[in-house]
Structure 1
């Protein structure tokens, strides 16, 4: 495309289309983004990123990678490493070193790379990342323990692997000098400036956020601008120390007490959809197909070694003393797709090394991209049957995600726990979440449809979403989001009884069909008043002698059936207008009004 405006708009539209396609087919977005970039770049010749941005291309890539690393490090809380078992800790420490060493040695000999480039390549491919792991977990549905290990490994290993790659790159740049002492001085200076400036900037920024010195409406923009300023300032003081500095800033903010970073992470979601997605299309468009074909058969040895040697070996060594069985280890060994950080960091470092005249640096990008495409495609297609063969798939999800932390919802969640049904309560109100956690019910504080929730909220055992919050603007968004994730018959909400009487409160016909929970007239207000007047949530087991008809006769008009549980713990939500077919040994979870009281 010769018109820069058309090219930029085209990249934006294509990135959104790729994100939507990935959302629909439940694959990591990086795969369609990379394929689209290759198609419009080397295959069709429609996009030339170097001509489009000219001298600005390198700064754009550098700033974008700085944002990616900062966002990734914001999720690196030390408490998370301690709180998710020895296996996650080992995979993110010992496992990283094992993968790094194996990948380095194989790449050096199979591809005839210099040891410096081989070490850089090995560091880059240690990361997996939540953007590729989470969609795969949703499809595979491994058992809870394995799913948690994979998810938290992806979250924690992202910034650790990126930081390792940054350190290796800094050493390569410093080693351009022939004098050993000068090399060590330059390397030490780069690390020292990056760490010191990162710690100081992170702490100062954290204090500003904690004391509310930055107005809330400026907070996200200010943090982003400051981070880019730290990146530029660190690079000015010590060449190429900026990526290390912004990674340290994110880690400091993530681990400071009373510093809320959730809004910053949520802002990143909007930014990443356009900026980061567009970046990968641009990076893929620069990939030369002949560079891939020129790699030779050695690249096959590298791919096989990463998937069948490095990963299983790192899992096996990391599992020592953890008590995991061989089936769990086998599935963990097979699921390790590479993602966004690997693609971004490889492209950036390749460009930088080529600029300083480092011989052979251009080979890093095609190798890393091949690793990404191979691992994502093969493991996405085979992980589910592998899990089935190993008998490691979780049973059909029968749990509930309840959006809304009201007193009724908390009591319903607690009763479901008593019946051994998985449940999560989500709300954007901290007081509601605090009360939920006090009763030892799993809870998520924030928007359950957010990217942060997708990374942190375990949905592997959740089959139904109950939208029962007072947030009338947010409820439809939650419903639409989980309809795509779980299915249209898996999301239900409370009626508001305002469709006919209040035109300003009308909702779309599609969403209105989902507002049929429990019974006619059962609104949020009705449930709240019922609890206030002493109504209780009770589970009743039916028998041959005590049938559903007997149940209705016993309670009369004081009972509202909520959920039906079969003997095998399969659950059914009671909906208005549907007949309840309950048999012997089935359980009915109901709202029972106190005698002589109405609501």
Structure 2
């Protein structure tokens, strides 16, 4: 396939399809992308992007990697690493050089490579790849501290490792007489100064430019993208791959600026990054030659064992001594270190150049790099989640619900969910409201949920759903709109949305359909209506369905006013009744419903002839909210 337009189309469709399948079947996306690239390239020979793209291949890959690293930098806020700042600094400044030195020695004595190739390979394998770490962290739901450690290390180590490799390569050229030593020293220092200072200046300048209204909203993202590409290219004129450090520093600088439009910019960049990661992994893997892969011998297995289970653990455990991390956190971080795009891209760039200088094992360096990348993606991709579960470093093993607004209704709902072992948290900025929730032994967060502090201190990875239940319709809609992008638009619900207003209220009183969340009840109920129900004695019940007592029996034994809110499947998945395409609960599901008091239900069943007076008295003696068993259900049918 040599038609570039068709090749790009196939790569794009295959990349996004791999991302979707990975999400659908809960497997690491990087593993699927790696498999697709191998299938398109070395296995079938369907495409060879390096040869087909020609001279455009290297600058396109370099630019794409720069954009990915900048987007990663945008996620790094210094407030997130208040507890791990010491550990992060040590991992970057101490562990990185240790990995470089130990890997170079291993490559020379175990891999039988020449010293120049070994040193460059050691530098390349310092990187841990944000393109791999980010999807894994999104899937693994780690606790904040180890997740922050892995994310910061991956983003900061990528440009650092690339610079190590560039400097090693340039030193080799100096030793061969191809470059002047003084010129290399001056260029390296100048490139580092330009990279760090230029990244900070560019980030602050753009932040001020946007804050002062010098650019309209629709141009902010394009301007940002253009500046990132330009800064990367300009710094690379001084020293190859130094632009990666520039854009990383620029991203971190902007992430810590008080920029109102940062969330929108981050979402735009995240969308581009998903596209680039999907395409790049396929392109880089498809560019591998079958002969290079076949050149791998038994030495690579010993090399992999040393890199994964000896070098990395030693470097992490030594560098984090006294850094305030628990042993299990250090153990997890010492194992999880997948390599990614930067390692493969830079190895391919230097491998070809070293081959031209007559180093016979330059191609083996590319093969070894690919072997490490493939092995770490597969091993770490499939073991991160089980290992985190064994070490008890996952946030939770089941989906949780975040409730905004503490009221008698939301507290009662939280208590019922807690009784079903569903993680639940109530957030409110009113201390008296929060106090009532605390007295009810419900986990709470006191503060403004829309504040910057909430986004940094409240771990949203714990929650798969959110309910906005304050007495302000507009505020509920604002909260759902803000959190919908992170939790999922189909997983945010609110009491009383505009869709629940009477038709006579007119279009001017109806919110735009793109704002707010899904009404919690069908048909929608306002906050005042729900409050009145609570005053009238309505309560929450949890009812488990069975083969004998199904959804029909559930409705038959309850008054028409009863409102099913959600049901919990045996797999612990939570389905909201108001969600689109929710369907109906089945045997084994537990329904959480909101309905009239039991006395009222009994009277209604008596009127309908489904319950005798004696049975009614017996039922009233039971505790409100008791779970209905199959035997009880048969007695009331």
Other-structure match for 1:191: 192
Aligned with residue 440 of structure 1, among 446, 449, 458: 446
Other-structure match for 1:165: 161
Question: Helix, strand or coil for the counterpart of 1:378?
Answer: helix
8 Å Cα contact 1:426-1:445 kept in structure 2: no
Other-structure match for 2:55: 55
> What is the CA-CA distance between 1:210 and the residue it aligns to?
2.5
Within 1, Cα distance between the matches of 2:279 and 2:409? 42
Within 2, Cα distance between the matches of 1:274 and 1:246? 19
8 Å Cα contact 2:464-2:487 kept in structure 1: no
Question: Helix, strand or coil for the counterpart of 1:308?
Answer: helix
Mark the CA change 1:30 to 1:585 in structure 2 (over 3 Å): closer, same or farther: same
Other-structure match for 2:126: 126
> What is the CA-CA distance between 1:40 and the residue it aligns to?
1.0
Mark the CA change 1:250 to 1:586 in structure 2 (over 3 Å): closer, same or farther: same
Deviations 1:499-531 (A, max 9, x none): 9998x99x99xxxxx9684x55453xx127867
Deviates more, 1:367-376 or 1:322-331: 322-331
Mark the CA change 1:237 to 1:327 in structure 2 (over 3 Å): closer, same or farther: closer
8 Å Cα contact 2:188-2:239 kept in structure 1: no
8 Å Cα contact 1:134-1:151 kept in structure 2: no
8 Å Cα contact 1:210-1:258 kept in structure 2: yes
Deviations 1:75-118 (A, max 9, x none): 33334333446545544443334333332322232223444543
Other-structure match for 2:477: 470
> What is the CA-CA distance between 1:353 and the residue it aligns to?
6.2
Mark the CA change 1:197 to 1:309 in structure 2 (over 3 Å): closer, same or farther: same
1:268-347 matched pairs, under 5 angstroms? 268-321=269-322, 326-347=327-348
> What is the CA-CA distance between 1:224 and the residue it aligns to?
0.7
1:417-428 matched pairs, under 5 angstroms? 422-423=423-424
If the length of structure 2 is used for normalisation, what is the TM-score? 0.67
Question: Helix, strand or coil for the counterpart of 1:75?
Answer: coil
> What is the CA-CA distance between 1:414 and the residue it aligns to?
12
Mark the CA change 1:294 to 1:237 in structure 2 (over 3 Å): closer, same or farther: closer
> What is the CA-CA distance between 1:305 and the residue it aligns to?
1.5
8 Å Cα contact 1:88-1:149 kept in structure 2: no
Within 2, Cα distance between the matches of 1:184 and 1:482? 53
Within 2, Cα distance between the matches of 1:323 and 1:158? 20
Matching of residue 7 in structure 1 with residue 14 in structure 2: no
Question: Helix, strand or coil for the counterpart of 2:446?
Answer: coil
Other-structure match for 2:222: 221
Query: How many residues are paired up?
Result: 533
Question: Helix, strand or coil for the counterpart of 2:321?
Answer: coil
8 Å Cα contact 1:425-1:443 kept in structure 2: no
If the length of structure 1 is used for normalisation, what is the TM-score? 0.71
Other-structure match for 2:209: 208
Other-structure match for 1:42: 42
1:160-559 matched pairs, under 5 angstroms? 160-175=156-171, 176-177=173-174, 178=177, 179-236=180-237, 241-258=242-259, 260-321=261-322, 326-347=327-348, 350=351, 360-386=361-387, 396-397=397-398, 399-402=400-403, 422-423=423-424, 440=446, 443=449, 458=459, 461-462=462-463, 464-466=465-467, 469-470=476-477, 481=488, 498=499, 517=520, 520-523=522-525, 526-527=526-527
> What is the CA-CA distance between 1:291 and the residue it aligns to?
1.2
8 Å Cα contact 2:111-2:299 kept in structure 1: yes
Mark the CA change 1:411 to 1:342 in structure 2 (over 3 Å): closer, same or farther: farther
8 Å Cα contact 1:479-1:491 kept in structure 2: no
Within 1, Cα distance between the matches of 2:197 and 2:236? 13
8 Å Cα contact 1:425-1:441 kept in structure 2: no
Within 1, Cα distance between the matches of 2:287 and 2:563? 62
> What is the CA-CA distance between 1:217 and the residue it aligns to?
0.6
Within 1, Cα distance between the matches of 2:203 and 2:378? 38
RCO higher in structure (CA 8 A, sep ≥6): 1
Mark the CA change 1:221 to 1:540 in structure 2 (over 3 Å): closer, same or farther: closer
Deviations 1:555-580 (A, max 9, x none): xx999998999xxxx99899689575
Within 1, Cα distance between the matches of 2:160 and 2:202? 21
| Structure ID, larger Rg | 2
Mark the CA change 1:247 to 1:184 in structure 2 (over 3 Å): closer, same or farther: same
Within 1, Cα distance between the matches of 2:107 and 2:158? 19
Mark the CA change 1:479 to 1:30 in structure 2 (over 3 Å): closer, same or farther: closer
> What is the CA-CA distance between 1:59 and the residue it aligns to?
1.9
Structure 1 residue runs without a partner (length 5+): 428-437, 484-489, 509-513, 543-556, 589-599
Within 2, Cα distance between the matches of 1:78 and 1:271? 24
Structure 2 residue runs without a partner (length 5+): 429-443, 470-475, 543-559, 579-583, 585-590, 599-621, 628-637
> What is the CA-CA distance between 1:371 and the residue it aligns to?
1.7
Mark the CA change 1:174 to 1:213 in structure 2 (over 3 Å): closer, same or farther: same
8 Å Cα contact 1:416-1:422 kept in structure 2: no
Within 1, Cα distance between the matches of 2:182 and 2:212? 44
Mark the CA change 1:530 to 1:56 in structure 2 (over 3 Å): closer, same or farther: same
Deviates more, 1:18-27 or 1:527-536: 527-536
> What is the CA-CA distance between 1:44 and the residue it aligns to?
1.1
Question: Helix, strand or coil for the counterpart of 1:470?
Answer: helix
8 Å Cα contact 1:194-1:241 kept in structure 2: yes
Question: Helix, strand or coil for the counterpart of 2:310?
Answer: helix
Within 1, Cα distance between the matches of 2:374 and 2:489? 28
Other-structure match for 1:553: none
